[in-house]
Amino acid sequence: MHMIFSHFREQINGHRTTVGMSIEKLSTRRDFASLVEKVLKLRQRELRNVRVVSNGNEVDLTPLWLTAYGYEILTAMQFGLKTDAIGLQQVEGELRKLDVDLCYDEENRNQLSTVFSDDLKNYILWIVQSRDPSASKK
């Protein structure tokens, strides 16, 4: 258990992604509970720094998918990697519940505030792309 705790601590202190890390499960273990506040701050930082790319009527949600809260929100809403203005309004509404305003970028700079391995980034995007296309909102 000590090795797992050390890995999580390194992950969080290194500003690495917490996508897939359950706050609820972490908080039930005394040794992990001390990390919960750091995870929450890291996740808020991720959202405040994320930039989605808008090209006319289409918005690329990829950067949002690569944040812990973005992943949870977009999964629950059954969105894909791209959406339109109506879908974007729905996403913005969910983000406002977390006191976050979504920022936009004219160019796709793919700047993330957390550290990701290329393998993990590709895996997350593969999961999103492999879902039923009819569940993806545009």
Please, which pLDDT band fits residue 1 given cuts at 50, 70 and 90? low
Statement: the pTM of the whole predicted model exceeds 0.85? no
CB 48 within 8 A of CB 100: yes
For residues 76-89, one letter each, b for 16 or more C-beta atoms within 10 angstroms of the residue's C-beta and e for the rest, the string is eeebbbbbeeebbe
Q: What is the pLDDT of residues 13-55, one digit of tens each?
A: 777 777 877 778 777 777 777 788 888 888 888 888 888 888 8
Q: Residue 63 is part of which domain span? A: 1-138
Residue 58, beta-bridge partner list = 55
Identify the bridge partners of residue 60 per DSSP, sorted by sequence position: 53, 82
Tally of structural domains, the chain: 1
pLDDT value at 135 more than 50: no
Give the H/E segment covering residue 25. Answer: helix 23-27
- 5 pLDDT higher than 60: yes
Over residues 68-127, the pLDDT tens digits come to 999 999 999 999 999 998 999 999 999 999 888 888 776 655 555 566 678 888 888 888
